[in-house]
Structure 1
Amino acid sequence: MLIFAALVGVAAEVDTSQVAAQELVKARIGLVRLPSNAPLYIGLERGFFRNEGLDIQLNFFDAASAVPVVVVSGDVDIGLGGLTAAFYNLAAKGGLKIISSTVREKAGYRLDAFLITTKAYNEGFQSWKDLAGKRVAITTVGSSYHLKFVTLAKKNGVDIAKVTFVPLQSLQNQAAAFAGNQVDAASLPALVAENFVKSGQGRLMGWAGDETPSQNGVVVASPATIEKRRVLIEKFLRAYNQSVALYYDSFLDRADERSASLAQQQMLETIARYVQSTPENLKSAMPYYDRQPEVDVADMSRQLAIWQELGMAPKSADIKTMVDLSFNHGTSE
């Protein structure tokens, strides 16, 4: 009888777990496969999203400009991506709402680097004041990489009209063009940039966090999804905020580095698996997040103004209409 009871108990336990698995709600997330989405990967590994009853399906894209498009089309429920001219255009038309933030370019932290090819450097291109007449790799016209160089040019008094931007559609193509000296400069993720410096193919000319600090990424959803699947979004953001806080405490809170380092290795292994890299390579490439995700409305207004000046966003667009404050995230104006 005891054996029978034990078997029944095991069967009941299995049935319960199967029911729990069946009750998970699928949430489709659009993003680019980058270390900058590290908190999401950590949260998935720790089970934070599953604890909220969500079955997260990651949909990876080659460029950030693709993410808002699939959010508007309904191919994904939530997007984590960079702020692009395409994003601002879609949001201005009412197709997108910012519901939280992701990564920032912040002084002292390494997200994206500014590089000049060694060939161009040796030929005299050794300062950003010499940017005029040079070829610059970007993923797409209107991308966050495009914005970084526009901001950098303005900072150094360079006429944007005299810079040739070369859109290459993906980070992989951007890196290949840089390696082949088809361009003179590029902004690339820390991991890629450091490999170019180590190989002698590129010269590190600074970090975007120091040169062009900005709100770099946001969490977005369409108004239709917010209306129809609000509970799903709320559950996602609860787990996401928990993930970001753990990431911050483990990698960015420098008050207790010894304690944090004990948890870092396992998390680095998780991130490495998602971005197809190694923990060793990722150690120096952990970007900045606010511990409580905060939407920097003021900086996004600055970005929007640049795209408007370049004729790449409607003059009537207002960033405040693009942010949904009802999810109780922080804002900075």
Structure 2
Amino acid sequence: MTNFSRRGAMGLLGGAATLPMLGTPALANTKMTVGALRFTSHAASFVAFERGYFADEGLDVEFKFFQAAQPMAVAIASGDADYAVTAISGGLVSLAEKGAAKVIGGALSEEKGIDGQKILASNAAYEAGLTSPAALGGKNYAVTQAGSSFHYMGSKISAAEGVSVKFKPLQKVGAIIGAMKSGQVDAWSIVPHIAKGLAGAGAVKIIGNVADYIPNYQVTTVFTSANNAENERGQTEGFLRAFSRGADDFNAALVDKTAGDQAATDMVKLIHKYVYADRPFEKAEKSIRNGAMRINQNAGLNMSSVQDQLDWFKSEGLIKDSITSETLVDSSYAPTI
């Protein structure tokens, strides 16, 4: 993982979130670490940082970057990160059950009419007949870990098609990409900025859309330690307010496209500092634009989707049957949708 810090970054102001106002700012130079992946789907945090929305709340933010969801959940529980955005995983739920973590809002969502996560086949598997999700039976489906969002998606997709797949845990997204390119695994599902980039380069084939199998899927959530949720309310509300302003800017520029062409270009340039930063802008731009899925307004959380994910974890024996949505979610911070 890598760290990146910039204090007091300022820029254009975006739409104001409707979370409770506590003053301007409510805090003063409160240092915190925010966990993230180098994905377009984490753009709300990057925008809040670069445009000074965290600074407006008195938050001095440092990013800590991860390559999978489970290690991020562990970092929140251990205090190595204060807030983070990632998918619900079995590890996160178990940490919540132990009183170490709480989901406080929603982030990335599948939404009808917006191009979302893709189902991929390796070239070798495609040539052997894996041209649609209906042909997944007996195939190797890549996941980071058991109980990850990839595991959930693959299980829901294969169940809907009435077939059985073999899940292959590879720990990191980078390792999965390598395995897909070499044909060591047959299938995977991933956010569009990665899926379309790989397919456009001829490395994989797109064979379906996740939203066709899991409509209105709450892909990622905002979460923190149980201690922060319970005892650091001002700080937590300040974080969510800044995060929500970043989401508003992102959605207006790249999802709803109401902010104009220049705002869209500016947004892509901002995100490029964090996503595909090792590529020239001209090569990264299309992939970043392709990754523009909805980030929920005001960190709203789709509780029906959260419940479906918890029910799946229970059906797989990955979490205790006694765990409820209240175990995982502190619903006092953000609206439910």
List per-residue Cα deviations over 1:7-63 (Å, max 9, x = no partner): xxxxxxxxxxxxx9xx51111111222110111111211111111111111111110
Matches within 5 A, 1:190-229: 190-213=192-215, 214-229=217-232
SS of 1:274's partner is coil
Q: Distance in 2 between matches of 1:94 and 1:239?
A: 26
How far did 1:71 drift? 0.8
Q: Is the 8 A contact 2:254 2:289 kept in 1?
A: no
List per-residue Cα deviations over 1:272-296 (Å, max 9, x = no partner): 1111342232122211122232111
Matched residue, 1:237? 240
Matched residue, 2:145? 140
Q: Distance in 1 between matches of 2:315 and 2:331?
A: 27
Q: Distance in 1 between matches of 2:223 and 2:86?
A: 8
1:249 to 1:322, Cα distance in 2 relative to 1, 3 A: same
How far did 1:114 drift? 0.6
TM-score (norm 2): 0.85
Q: Distance in 2 between matches of 1:198 and 1:253?
A: 24
SS of 1:87's partner is helix
Please, what is the CA RMSD of the aligned residues? 1.9
Q: Does 1:60 align with 2:60?
A: no
Query: Matched residue pairs, number?
Result: 305
How far did 1:102 drift? 0.9
Matched residue, 1:264? 264
Find 1:323's aligned residue among 311, 323, 329: 329
Q: Distance in 2 between matches of 1:290 and 1:223?
A: 22
Matches within 5 A, 1:140-219: 140-159=145-164, 163-213=165-215, 214-219=217-222
Q: Distance in 1 between matches of 2:219 and 2:93?
A: 13
Code of the aligned partner of 1:164: K
Moved >3 Å (runs of 4+): none
How far did 1:227 drift? 3.6
List per-residue Cα deviations over 1:76-121 (Å, max 9, x = no partner): 1112111111112222232211111111122333442111112111
SS of 2:154's partner is helix
How far did 1:298 drift? 1.2
Find 2:305's aligned residue among 262, 284, 299: 299
Q: Does 1:127 align with 2:132?
A: yes
List per-residue Cα deviations over 1:115-158 (Å, max 9, x = no partner): 11121111122232222211111111111111111010111112
Matched residue, 1:283? 289
Q: Is the 8 A contact 1:110 1:190 kept in 2?
A: yes
Code of the aligned partner of 2:64: N
Percent identity reads 29
Code of the aligned partner of 2:241: R
Q: Distance in 2 between matches of 1:70 and 1:82?
A: 14
Q: Distance in 2 between matches of 1:229 and 1:276?
A: 34
Matched residue, 1:309? 315
Find 2:74's aligned residue among 69, 74, 86: 69
Q: Distance in 1 between matches of 2:85 and 2:130?
A: 35
Code of the aligned partner of 1:177: A
Code of the aligned partner of 1:145: F
SS of 1:330's partner is coil
| Unaligned segments of structure 1, at least 5 residues | 1-19
Q: Is the 8 A contact 1:83 1:217 kept in 2?
A: yes
1:298 to 1:247, Cα distance in 2 relative to 1, 3 A: same
List per-residue Cα deviations over 1:223-255 (Å, max 9, x = no partner): 22234432221211111111112222222225x
Q: Is the 8 A contact 1:107 1:210 kept in 2?
A: no
Q: Distance in 2 between matches of 1:276 and 1:127?
A: 29
Q: Distance in 2 between matches of 1:183 and 1:108?
A: 30
Q: Distance in 2 between matches of 1:292 and 1:54?
A: 18
1:125 to 1:89, Cα distance in 2 relative to 1, 3 A: same
Q: Distance in 1 between matches of 2:129 and 2:264?
A: 41
How far did 1:188 drift? 2.6
Q: Distance in 2 between matches of 1:166 and 1:55?
A: 39
1:242 to 1:196, Cα distance in 2 relative to 1, 3 A: closer
| Unaligned segments of structure 2, at least 5 residues | 1-24, 278-283
Code of the aligned partner of 2:324: D
Code of the aligned partner of 2:266: Q
Q: Is the 8 A contact 1:108 1:210 kept in 2?
A: no
Q: Does 1:31 align with 2:33?
A: no
Code of the aligned partner of 1:27: M
Q: Distance in 2 between matches of 1:292 and 1:39?
A: 11
